[in-house]
Chains A and B, each alone.
Chain A
Amino acid sequence: MNNNLSRRDLLRLVGLGAGAGALGLGGVAACAPSADGPTTDTAKSATDFSFASWSLADNASKAKIEELMRGYGGKAGVTVNGVPLAYNTYLNQLTLQVRGGQFTGAAQMDIAWLAGLAALGKLRDLGDVARDAGYTEAALSSGQVDGKQVGLPWTTAAIGLIANRELMQKAGVTTAPATIADFETALRALKSTGVIPYAASTKVAQLKDILIWMQTFGSPLLDGDKVTVGDDASVEAVAWYKKLYDEKLIAPDVERVDARTLFAQGKAAIYDDAIVGRDFVVKGSPDTSLADKLDPIARPVKNAGDKPRAVQWGHAVVVVEGEGANTASDFAGWLTSDEQTVLGYFKDLSLPPTTSKALASEQVRTDRFTAQFSERITATATPNPFWKYPQYAQMETAISEQVQAVLVGRAKPADAMRDAGRAVQALIT
Chain B
Amino acid sequence: MLPALAMLAAIVVYPLVASLVTAFFAQSLVEPGRTFVGLGNITELLGGDFWRLLRQTLVFTVGATVAPFLVGLALALALNTRIRGRATLRGLLLIPWLVPSVVVSFLWMWIFNANYGLANGALEALGLIDEPRAWLASPGTAMAAVIVAKTWASFPWILVMLLAGLQTVPGELHEAAETDGAGAVQRFFAVTLPHLRGIIGIVLLLELIWNFQHFDLIYVMTGGGPAGATETFATAVYETAFQGYDLGRAGALGLLWMLLLLGMVAIYVRRSEREGQL
B218 at the interface (CB under 8 A from A): no
Q: Are A27 and B242 CB-contacts (below 8 A) given A12-B272, A120-B30?
A: no
* Residues of B with C-beta under 8 A to A95: 29-30
List which B160-208 residues lie within 8 A (CB) of chain A: 202, 205-206
Task: Determine if A25 and B234 form an interchain contact, defined as CB atoms under 8 angstroms apart.
Answer: yes
B31 at the interface (CB under 8 A from A): yes
B143 at the interface (CB under 8 A from A): no
Closest to B112 in A: A253
Task: Determine if A23 and B16 form an interchain contact, defined as CB atoms under 8 angstroms apart.
Answer: yes
A360 at the interface (CB under 8 A from B): no
B contact residues, total (Cβ < 8 Å):
62
Task: Determine if A15 and B15 form an interchain contact, defined as CB atoms under 8 angstroms apart.
Answer: no
Report whether over half of chain B's contact residues are helix, strand or loop; otherwise say mixed: helix
* Residues of A with C-beta under 8 A to B251: 27, 29-30
A71 at the interface (CB under 8 A from B): no
A16 to B275 Cα, complex, angstroms: 16
B147 at the interface (CB under 8 A from A): no
Task: Determine if B139 and A22 form an interchain contact, defined as CB atoms under 8 angstroms apart.
Answer: no
Q: Are A16 and B269 CB-contacts (below 8 A) given A8-B276, A27-B19?
A: yes
B66 at the interface (CB under 8 A from A): no
* Residues of B with C-beta under 8 A to A12: 269, 272
B209 at the interface (CB under 8 A from A): yes
B101 at the interface (CB under 8 A from A): no
0 or 1 for each of B100-142: is its CB under 8 Å from A? (1 = yes):
0000000000000111100000000000000000101111000
Task: Determine if B31 and A11 form an interchain contact, defined as CB atoms under 8 angstroms apart.
Answer: no
* Residues of B with C-beta under 8 A to A410: 139, 227
* Residues of B with C-beta under 8 A to A397: 243-244
A397 to B16 Cα, complex, angstroms: 28
Task: Determine if B213 and A29 form an interchain contact, defined as CB atoms under 8 angstroms apart.
Answer: no
- Smallest distance from the beta carbon of A11 to chain B beta carbons, Å? 6
* Residues of B with C-beta under 8 A to A261: 116
Q: Are A258 and B242 CB-contacts (below 8 A) given A21-B213, A26-B258, A410-B227?
A: no
Task: Determine if A22 and B258 form an interchain contact, defined as CB atoms under 8 angstroms apart.
Answer: yes
Segment with Cβ contacts to A, from B42-50, B80-88, B148-156, B260-268:
B260-268
Closest to B19 in A: A27
Central interface residue in B210, B248, B272, by most chain A CB within 10 Å: B272
* Residues of A with C-beta under 8 A to B254: 25-30
Closest to B234 in A: A25
0 or 1 for each of B224-253: is its CB under 8 Å from A? (1 = yes):
011111000010011011111101101100
Partner of B138, one of A18, A116, A393, A408: A408
Task: Determine if B115 and A262 form an interchain contact, defined as CB atoms under 8 angstroms apart.
Answer: yes
Task: Determine if B114 and A251 form an interchain contact, defined as CB atoms under 8 angstroms apart.
Answer: yes
B18 at the interface (CB under 8 A from A): yes
A316 at the interface (CB under 8 A from B): no
A96 to B258 Cα, complex, angstroms: 23
Closest to A411 in B: B227
B32 at the interface (CB under 8 A from A): yes
A12 to B270 Cα, complex, angstroms: 10
A residues with CB within 8 A of B? 8, 11-12, 14-16, 18-32, 35, 92, 95-96, 99, 116, 119-120, 196, 202-205, 251-254, 258, 261-262, 265, 267, 390-391, 393-394, 397, 401, 404-405, 407-411
B residues with CB within 8 A of A? 11-12, 15-16, 18-22, 29-32, 113-116, 134, 136-139, 202, 205-206, 209-210, 212-213, 215, 223, 225-229, 234, 237-238, 240-245, 247-248, 250-251, 254-255, 257-258, 261-262, 264-265, 268-269, 272, 275-276
Pairs A-B, 5 closest by C-beta atoms: A27-B19, A29-B250, A27-B15, A30-B18, A26-B254
**Cross-chain pairs A/B with CB under 8 angstroms, 17 sampled:** A12-B272, A15-B206, A18-B265, A19-B262, A22-B265, A23-B258, A26-B254, A26-B258, A29-B237, A30-B18, A95-B30, A99-B30, A204-B225, A251-B114, A251-B115, A262-B115, A390-B31
